[in-house]
Structures are given as C-alpha cells and as structure tokens.
Structure 1
Amino acid sequence: MGRILIRKFLETLGFVLFITFISFLFIRMAPGDPVLTILNVDELSVSQEQVEALREEMGFNQPLLVQYGQWLLDFVRLDFGQSYVTGQPVMKMIMGGLPATLELTGGALVIMLLIALPLGSLSALYRNSWIDHMSRLLSIIGAAVPSFWLGLILIDLFGVRLGWLPTMGRDGWISLLLPSLTLGLAISSVYVRLLRSSLLDSLGQEFVRAARARGYSELRIFWVHALRHSLPPVITVFGVSLGSLIGGVVVIEVLFAYPGIGKLVVDSIRQRDYPLIQGYILVMAAIVFVVNTLVDLSYRYLNPEMKLKERKTG
C-alpha cells in the first residue's frame, strides 16, 4: 500500500505541475484584461497611465514564465493569493463554497446509486425481459438528454408549474433535491449499462456455477459473489469520469444558482479573476487525486487477485 501511495503522489505532483502551467498559460492568453476589471473602466474614467501602473504593480508586464514561477513559489509557501474582485483570500472563498458543492455531488451520487444499482441488477438478472428492455431504453434516453436541458424541464415542472420545490439558492435540504436529481439522472445512465454488462459477465463465471453446485441461494450468489466481482470496472469508470462529474456540477450550479465553487469559478472566469481560477484548478486536482487513490486502494478489497499478485511480486 505504501508503494501505491508513493507512486500516486509522484504521478499527481507531475500532473499538478503540468495542469497548473497549462492553465496558467491559457488563462492569460484568453481575451480580456483583469486590470480593466479591477479599475472598473466601464463606470469610471481611467487614464492609460493608471492602467499601466496597476499592470506593472501586479506583475503582468513580466514574461509568463516569470509570472508562473512567482505563482509557484507562493503556492509552495501555501499562499494562493487574493481575489482581484473581492480582495478576499482565494482559499477562504473556495472553502466557503466547497461544502455546497460536496453536498450537491453527494446528493447526485446517492440518486445515481438508487437508480443504477436496482436497474442494472434487475436488467442483468432478467436478461431480455421487459425490465431489461425498459432499463436499456431509459439509459439511452438519459445519455442522449443534456443535463442542462433536463434541469430546465425539472425546473419548469416542479418549480414553476407545480410549485413543489425551490429552483434557486441553497436553503436547506429541500433546495438540494432538484439539482441533485438533475445531476443524478444525467450520470446514472452510464452506470446502468456498465453494471448490467459487468454483472452478466460475472454471472457467467466458473465461481458462480461452483457456488450454485454447492447449493448456495441465488440471493447469496448475487450479493456475495457476482456483485462484488462486477464492481471494479464500475469503480474504474467512476474514477476516470470524475472530471465529467465535476464539469456537470459546474453546469448545474449555474443553472440552479447554487452557491458552490462551480458557480464561483464561472463568475471568476467572466471577471478574469486569475488567482481564483488557479485555486479552483488546484482544489479539483487534489480531489481527483484523493478519489483515484481511494479507487486504487478499493481494488485490494474488491479484487483478491491483486493481493495475490502483490505477494508474488513482493
């Protein structure tokens, strides 16, 4: 386990250096000038001398490599800078919005499990039945419908026409229902099909036939043997598709005006708030690292063959 953690740390270190440099480069190449945003030139009369003085004070007149080196040095000292717009520390703003994003992500994952686990399981157990055909049809429809369009439909139905649920803000668990349902429905279609395929493969393995020959009940065979054997591919896809999930959270937060870090970073991109954008990228990279490390460690429990391989190679 120690070697796995060290390897993942070195991989993530290289990934963080690469992604921060690329994002630093492209952010500053994008159209727009944060200096003009800070000086609020649309509302105030500002001279070109004032613009150039502030640009020099903030170091924007230096080469990009020098700017990145200074930012990286501050990052090593755990100084993520301050927002150009609000003047607040970047990490304070991100940590203020992170709980809302984690709540939305957790709610979406719960809804995804409530949909994908029963539908995928029933579809595999009753292959080619009406349940199987219905679940596959629903998964295809779910994959074809964009999450923002689905969110608009749910807002119109439950928020506008029926008036049952709030459609904006974060005011208790009830305001979490619509955005979580939108995101959960959007991502569940992938896992319904994947779980069905993995379960069908597991149910055809020799160990399942051996378990039936020993007289084990079908329920025990499914939960103890087949389902556990079919989970590693599902978890692998989850680790790989985590970036897509984070992107979906950003879209849903903007759509429902949910005050998480997704909406925060969209506002910061619009305002050219470079420190906040870079801080968001770092936090997302850390989350991806933690989740993928947990995915790798979970293989040792879900797939005993990996333990045997590690003992032989060790």
Structure 2
Amino acid sequence: MRRYVLKRVLLGIVTFIVVSMIVFIAARLSGDVALLLAPQEASEEDIQAIRVQLGLDKPIPVQYYVFMRNSLHGDFGESIRYSQPAMRVILGRLPATLELGSAGFLMSVFLGILFGVFSATRRDSYLDWGGKIFGMLGQSMPGFWVGIMLILLFGVELGWLPTSGHGGIKHLILPAFSVGWFSITAVMRLTRSSMLDVLDSEYIKMARIKGNPERVVVWKHALRNALIPVLGMAGMQLAFLIGGVVIVETVFRWPGLGSLIAEGVFSRDYSLVQAGVFIISGAIIVINLLVDLTYGIIDPRIKYE
C-alpha cells in the first residue's frame, strides 16, 4: 500500500511540474510583458528597466526557477487589470466557483445514479431506451452549448429563471445543470451498466427468493455493490467539472474563477491567468490523486498492478 501511494504521489508531482512548464512557456510565447506594462511614451531604456525589474533579462532556466519558487509561495505578481496581487483576486472569486462546481457535482451524481437505476430496473422498456438516447446525446453535446439552449428556453422564452449573475438558488440552477450535464449522462450510463451486472448475480436472486420487496433488493442490496465503480468515476468527473466550469461561467457571467481567467486572457493579464491555471491544475491533480488512492482502498488488486 505504501509503495502504491508513493507511486501515485510522485506521478502527481511530475504532472504538476509539467503543467507549470506549460504555463511558463505559454506566458513567454504570448508576448513581451514589459511592452504591455510600459506606457506608450516609454523609451527603450524604460522598457529594459521593466524587464530587469521583472527578471526577464535572466536566462530562461533561472526565470523558471524564480517563477516556481514564487508560485509555491502564492506570489504570481500583480494583476494589471485589478492593480492588486493576482492571488488575492483569485481567492476573492474562488468561493463562487466552489459553489457552482459543488452544485453541478451533486446534481450530476444524484441525477446520474437515479436515472441509471431506473433505466437498469426497466431494461428494454421505453424508459430504458429513452435513457440510452439521453446518454448518447449528453456525451455528444458540450456543456456550454446546453447552457445557451437553457438560457434561450427557460430565460428568454419562458422567463422562469435568470440568465446571468450570482444570487439566490434561481441563479444557480441553469449554470449548475450546464456544468454537470456531461457528468450526469456519464454517471447514468455507468450506473446502468453496473446495476445490470449486479442484478444478474446469484445473491440478488437469493434476496428475491427470500421474499424481500423489490425496492429493498434494488436500493439496498444491488445499488450498494453497483456504486463501487460509480464512486471512482464520480471523482474523475469532479476533476472534469473543475476544468469545464471556465466556459460555463463565461456563458452565464458567473463571477467565479473561470470567468476571471477568461477576462485575464482577453486583457493579457498574465499574472491573473497563471494564478488561475495553477489553482485549477493543482485541484485537478489532487482530486485525481485522491481518486487513485480511493480505488486502491476499494479494490486491493490495484495495488499490485
């Protein structure tokens, strides 16, 4: 077990280093930051002084070392757009993203498991075929497109729900459903497949022979064992949700981390973008690590593979 954990932790560290290199290189390839910060009337000497101040005159390996050292201390520099430390701006928007991501995750797990169980217990019925079609559509439609369709239907045509902003529960419904759309169908399809395998097992047949009500057989005996692969996949879907929240927040003008990164990209606020990407990447790596460790606990055979 210790070797398995160490292997996964080292893999997470390597992944984080690779991500940091990509962020560092992308920032350097996007243009000269000194030219962006310098006023229009600045001379070449003034621009060079800004490069020296930012450490851009040093060799690339030295710049990367300084970048990593400062990043690990939470220092990503000052945001050009907001004129304050980038990390402070990020932390101010983080609660809204956590709210949206949590709502989308809970919605995807609850609805995905519920639809999957109903589909499995009514195999080859109209409900089951409808679930299959819904699952295929969900896997082929991106969340931001679903969000736009929801805005047009429930916001513009029917006027039932607000189409943008951050407030009460009404503001959360459409963006949360859009964020969790892909995961709902993924969890539903895996739950259905897992439930079908469990429902055909001998101990489920024995539970029925003993006279247990069908709801007890399904929800207590079958679902408990069918959830083992679903829980692991749900963790991976949580990492997917964090990455997909960027576009959805932009569509719904949700004041979270994703929309903030989009603003930083359009305004070339590299400090803001780097801080946001680091936070999201770190969260995804940690979640994937926890999922791997959870799999190792649930299924001991994984430790030796």
Task: Give the TM-score, by structure 1 length.
Answer: 0.84
Cα distance between partner residues in 2 of 1:272 and 1:65 = 23
Partner of 2:154: 158
Change (3 A) 1:222 1:300: farther
Aligned-pair CA distance for 1:184: 2.5
Counterpart code for 2:255: P
Name the CA distance, whole Å, in 1 between partners of 2:283 and 2:206.
41
1:86 pairs, out of 79, 82, 89, with: 82
Q: Distance in 1 between matches of 2:153 and 2:67?
A: 47
CA change 1:70–1:35 in 2 (3 A) is same
* CA gap 1:16/1:300 in 2 versus in 1, 3 angstroms: closer
Partners of 2:255 and 2:215 in 1: CA distance: 43
Matched, 1:22 2:18: no
Q: Name which of 223, 227, 230 aligns with 1:234.
A: 230
Secondary structure of 1:247's partner? helix
| Displacement after TM superposition at 1:261 (Å) | 0.5
Tell me the residue number matched to 1:38.
37
* Alpha-carbon contact 1:120-1:196 (below 8 Å) kept: yes
1:189-208 deviations in whole A, cap 9, x for unaligned? 22211111111112223332
Report deviation, 1:67: 0.9
Gaps of 5+ in 1: none
Q: Please report how far the alpha carbon of residue 179 of structure 1 lies from its aligned counterpart in structure 2 after TM superposition.
A: 0.8
TM-score norm. by structure 2 comes to: 0.87
Instruction: Determine the C-alpha separation between the residues in 2 that align with 1:72 and 1:189.
Output: 38
Q: 1:218 & 1:296 partners in 2: Cα distance?
A: 34
Q: How many aligned residue pairs are there?
A: 304
The Cα of 1:288 is off from its aligned counterpart by 2.2
CA distance in 2, matches of 1:26, 1:207: 56
Cα RMSD, aligned residues only: 2.7
SS of residue paired to 2:162:
coil
In structure 2, distance between residues paired with 1:8 and 1:204 = 35
After superposition, residues 40-79 of structure 1 pair within 5 angstroms as 44-79=40-75
Identity over aligned residues, as a percent?
Answer: 36
CA distance in 1, matches of 2:206, 2:250: 52
Q: Distance in 2 between matches of 1:298 and 1:165?
A: 38
2:128 alignment partner AA: D
How do 1:1-314 and structure 2 match up within 5 A?
A: 6-30=6-30, 32-39=31-38, 44-296=40-292, 298-299=294-295, 303=298, 306=300
CA distances 1:228-284 after superposition (whole Å, capped 9, x unpaired):
222232233333344432232111101111111011111222233333223223322
Q: Distance in 2 between matches of 1:6 and 1:285?
A: 20
Cα pair distance change 1:19/1:74, threshold 3 Å: same
